[in-house]
Structure 1
Amino acid sequence: MFRSRVRRQLARGLLALLCCALGAGPAVAQQADEQAVKAGFIYNFIKFTQWSSSQDGDTRRLQICTTADKPLGGQFAKLAGRTIGARTIEMRNSVGTNEWSGCDVLFIPQSDADRADAFIRSVGSAQVLTVGDFAGFTKAGGMIGLYMQDNRVRFDVNLVSAHRAGLTLNSQMIKLAGQVIK
């Protein structure tokens, strides 16, 4: 029963985000919408990722780190204070390649694509969900890569990297991915 509820929540959340991505408008509004949709996707990715070290009732802060100062046009910061289960999201911006300790999620925006390899190597097999905002992120070893295609936000998944880190991604989320590296 729990799994079917999780599947329905995931499907509804991702469907709502995809619908938001369909809207048309001025370029600036589209850019803001795109950034908000990406932030929403990341929130849902976290909701449907299971850390092997996490247990039911875990109340530790869920720390999302990013390599940028103001990622996704400030939309990313709106995740701070939201909760996933019993965990409250805390944000850390502008982390360096060796400053991600304590992070549960590491977001690498397109502006830092040239440094993505260094971040992915430094994280190694630690239990850190790596999410990138550019095509090719998963091929470089990142776990979830966001990109735009046909004016929609899409994502790819690298299950090899996720499993190496001891993370389990929800199967319904994986079905919605464009490309899955197994």
Structure 2
Amino acid sequence: MCVSTRSRFHVSLGGVCLLVSVLCHGQVQDAALKAAFIYNFALFTNWPQSPSASSTFNVCVVHRSPMWDSLQKLNGKLIGGRPWTVRDAPSTGQKVDCDVAVLSDASQSFVPASSSATLVVRDGGISGADGAAITLVTEDDHIHFDIDTVQAQRNGLRFSSKLLALARNVL
């Protein structure tokens, strides 16, 4: 390789590395922002007054989810006096006790424990298609969300009017 070709190769390689690092940084910021949205959804959701069987506020997400690390960073923050605790959601459709279930894979589903009122949040997809009360939507590099109040009521949940006012669509 001559010096000129070698220099162009290193400049090209440097450009590719910069692009990859910017894209990865963008994905990390996206996941952190979505985790912050989910935390705030929990703050502005009213659960039934029945006493919780758990002393922790359980957030279930599949460990391989891009949001896993960002949701974990919120561990210990209080929701209704209970500490936020991220749990690995079973991928087989087993019943599990969750206050919030985050679905990040189109094929993923959630089967709540019979006594639990669960806020199901879908990351992407079509609103109202799978029982999710909130669907996160990315458009033009901005994160929006749709709320399905009918699905929320089926799960025994109500949303604050402040949260409803911020939604892109309320179904």
TM-score class, shorter-chain normalisation, is 0.7 to 0.9
Asked if residue 81 in structure 1 is aligned to residue 71 in structure 2, the reply is: no
Q: Matched residues in 2 for 1:138 and 1:177: separation?
A: 14
1:159 alignment counterpart: 149
Larger gyration radius, structure 1 or structure 2: 2
SS of residue in 2 equivalent to 1:91: strand
Gaps of 5+ in 2: 1-20
SS of residue in 1 equivalent to 2:73: helix
8 Å Cα contact 1:69/1:93 also seen in 2:
no
Return 169-178 or 39-48, whichever deviates more.
169-178
Asked if residue 127 in structure 1 is aligned to residue 117 in structure 2, the reply is: yes
1:4 alignment counterpart: none
Match of 1:113 among 86, 106, 110: 106
Q: Matched residues in 2 for 1:124 and 1:138: separation?
A: 20
SS of residue in 1 equivalent to 2:30: helix
Gaps of 5+ in 1: 1-24
Q: TM-score w.r.t. structure 1 length?
A: 0.72
8 Å Cα contact 1:68/1:95 also seen in 2:
no
2:44 alignment counterpart: 48
Q: Matched residues in 2 for 1:160 and 1:28: separation?
A: 36
Change (3 A) 1:179 1:146: same
Pairs aligned (count): 148
2:89 alignment counterpart: 94
1:177 alignment counterpart: 167
Q: TM-score w.r.t. structure 2 length?
A: 0.76
Q: Which has the higher contact order (CA 8 A, sep 6+)?
A: 1
Which has a greater percent of helix?
1
Change (3 A) 1:124 1:137: farther
8 Å Cα contact 1:132/1:146 also seen in 2:
yes
Superposed displacement of residue 60, structure 1: 2.3
SS of residue in 1 equivalent to 2:46: strand
Q: Matched residues in 2 for 1:99 and 1:71: separation?
A: 23
Change (3 A) 1:43 1:137: same
Q: Matched residues in 2 for 1:103 and 1:146: separation?
A: 19
